[in-house]
Amino acid sequence: MRNWLEAICASMLLLLGLASCGKAPPAPENRTAEWPVVGGDNGGQRYAALGEIDKTNVHGLQVAWTYRTGDYFRGGKGESTTAFEASPIVVDGTMYICTPNDRVIALDPETGKEKWRFVPDVDQRGVYEAVCRGVSHWRDAAAAPAEPCRDRIYVATIDARLIALDARSGKPCAGFGKAGTVDLKAGLGRVDFGEYYVTAPPLVVRDLVLTNAFVKDVQRLDAPSGAIRAFDARTGELKWVWDPVPPDKVPVTAEAVKAGAVLTPGTPNAWGLMSADPEQNLVFIGTGNPSPDHYGGPERGDMDYYGSSIIALDAATGKLRWHFQTVHHDLWDYDVGAQPVFYQHRDAGRARPAVVGATKLGFLFLLDARTGKPLFPVEERPVPKSTVPDIPAAPTQPFPTLPAPILPPKLTRDSVWGVTPIDRKACRDAFDALDYQGPFTPPSLRGILEYPGLGGGINWGSVSIDPVRRRMLVNVQMAPFTIRLVPRAKAGTAAGSDLVGFGPQTGTPYGVARGPFLSPWGTPCVPPPWGRLVAIDLDSGRTLWSRTLGTLANNPKAPLIGGLFEWGTPNIGGSLQTRSGLVFIGATMDQNIRAIDTDTGKELWKHELPFAANSTPISYKLSRTGRQYVVIAAGGHGALGEKTGDALVAFALPR
């Protein structure tokens, strides 16, 4: 019988030209797309206009190739742990990616074969965790096609350098800065080891390369400046500086820096990805709070005027266009680490440019990109007063009405959670010892519960946007923290206290001890889910669906039950949407990449990776006869206790 059926099938193939006698494989899609910028475009929408992989065939995805970078470390011997959080870019048939220690690698996007590698030999002394989230590409329109460095790859490093490389060879561009390198410590004054470093890709707008940086938390009042700088893409010359001082202070200019001036210390930094609207020549930036994070007394002054805000600058000059503050007088480290995402908002059939500002609180502010004014009402609501007399708290905080805040319910003693009665009791005892009045409980000497924690909410992975379906996808985590102020006289003994992670906050009356609010089993002391994926209608602001994201399958403290329950996990990384109505996301601690139907939230496919993928996937198709690929970096997050690694994994449908 089988031979007879096969004979009929073969005859039909000859007569009809079909690919199989069962379900025909997908017809080649008559479109191609590269991935020229981390985030897909300068607006950061994380959207691929490709549909070869769709809801009917995504279950057939297979590993097409795997590339191992060789750059990872678990910590020890003076080296920091690593986190492989990079998203590759694909330009002119070549993929470029950076590793945690800023090695830049060029690959064949269809085979994973290495073309070249650049090793900058970074100094990682004092670095909290070695990470690079991507590189940037620029083409010199004035250069001849065969001229070296006509196409350049820029990488900014964890030891504060901006490096320009020839995209063809990987060799430094001699005419840029000094032998291909600009020293980003110039103009900062005193910089301690590991105190100032870059984790985000530079933002290229026309012929300028913009840089920002992470300034290490809770160290000192006069920490290095958080200024945004723009450099000439050809020469590396400093062209402008945005020094984020309050309006009543005189900002330091680029000309002053070149003459030897030091940028204003202690200003809010911006460590996440930046974005742009090239047509309006605007740059959008999410800022953190000023140093040293958890102190807002008179010594800090009004330095947080631009803190925890969405900022719009003129890309050509660095002049401020507008700003919108998401947290007033931030005492919690609720900074805006998520990339502001540019899109076109539709209201009564009329389109206008807009920006999504996503925050660690799980708040989503939809703003007019030209003015910074909210598209939906924002309410100023009263919040708790500070119990520390010399650290005032803002009397109100802004709450968006739409989209509704993705906040967990207020925790109560009865809702404190544990896997067993024993660890639930331990969590309750810890809860009883803390101050807690909701997400804006000001830091205290007793110690507070911060929920959601200082990691979010929504972290640097930001949101993805489908501009056709008018849909935004948001992954959030509920990872509560504790924060306790330590008087200066006792700060010397606080490093070994019950709360891990002591910060000296030098120059203020208080150090700070902070750490995760976890049970003895290593699970959050708050009810699950601890990770969610939420779909929101862009135009109405209404939530369409919400689902749990991830399991504790790879939690070493709960190996027997971790994978049995849909509890979600704390998640770091971003999502990718495609034209076929799929969202691809890693981000979770269970080491899976998932494909989910954006119409329903139903999981359609998942694949276990060699390591957790705390990154954002990308998708591309290089030719009409080629395949659509989905690629994700999987290397874990050492600071989260995950297994660290170095895998770049590509998926495609069978040929």
Burial class (CB in 10 A: 0-12, 13-18, 19+), 261: middle
Is the sign of the CA dihedral 48, 51, 55, 61 positive or negative?
A: negative
Distances from the Cα of 83 to the Cα of 27, 570, 622, angstroms: 38, 15, 29
Q: Which residue, among 463, 593, 619, 578, has the nearest Cα to 95 in the 3D structure?
A: 619
Q: Count H helices and E strands in the chain, helices first.
A: 3, 43
Collapsed DSSP state (helix, strand, coil) of residue 15: helix
d(C-alpha 106, C-alpha 68), whole Å: 13
β-strand partners of 286: 310
DSSP 23: S
Structure token digits, residue 613: 């993928």
What would the DSSP string read from start to end of 556-601? TTSTTTTTTS-------S-EEEETTSEEEE--STT-EEEEEETTT-
Q: Which residue, among 618, 622, 643, has the nearest Cα to 633 in the 3D structure?
A: 618
Q: Taking the C-alpha atoms of 106, 108, 111 and 112 in order, what is their torsion angle to the nearest 10 degrees?
A: 10
Distances from the Cα of 1 to the Cα of 7, 18, 23, 132, 346, angstroms: 10, 22, 20, 58, 59
Residues 625 and 29 sit within 8 Å (Cβ to Cβ): no
Helix (H) or strand (E) holding 424: helix 421-432
Could you confirm whether 333 is annotated as catalytic?
A: yes
How many residues are there in the chain?
655
Backbone angles phi, psi at 620, to 5 degrees: -160, 160
Residues 192 and 201 sit within 8 Å (Cβ to Cβ): no
- Choosing from 71, 166, 333, 423, the catalytic residue is 333
Active site residues: 333
